[in-house]
Amino acid sequence: MKHSRLMKRWRSVLATRTMAMTSLLLTGSWAMAQPPAARLIRYEVKPASLVSFRQAVRHYIGESTKAPGNILSEAFQEEADSTKLWIIERWTNQSALDKASHGNAYKTITALSQQSLQQPARLILVKDLEPLSPQQWRRAAAPEDRPLTIMLFVDAKPGTASHFKAVYHQAMPQFRSEPGVINYQLSQLENDSTQFVTYEKFRNEAAFQYHLTFPPIQPVIDYLHTSIKQQPFEKGLHRLIGIAP
| Pair (46, 83) in one structural domain | yes
- The chain-wide mean pLDDT, for the chain, equals 91
210, pLDDT greater than 80: yes
Which residue type occupies 29? S
Instruction: Give the pLDDT of residue 34.
Output: 84
Dihedral of the alpha carbons of 79, 80, 84, 90, in degrees to the nearest 10 = -30
What pLDDT score does 150 carry?
Answer: 98
C-beta contacts of 188-192 below 8 A and 24+ residues apart: 188/126, 188/127, 188/129, 189/124, 189/125, 189/126, 190/125, 190/126, 190/127, 191/125
Mark whether 19 and 87 lie in a shared domain.
no
Asked if 125 and 224 sit in the same domain, the reply is yes
Same domain, 15 and 108: no
**Judgement on whether residues 23 and 41 belong to the same structural domain of the protein:** no
Residue pLDDT, tens place only, 64-97: 999 999 999 999 999 999 999 999 999 999 999 9
pLDDT at 217 over 90: yes
**What pLDDT, on the 0 to 100 scale, is given for residue 9?**
55
**35: cis peptide before it, omega within 30°?**
no
Q: State which residues form the domain around 28.
A: 2-32
**CATH number, position 223:** 3.30.70.100
pTM of the model as a whole: 0.85
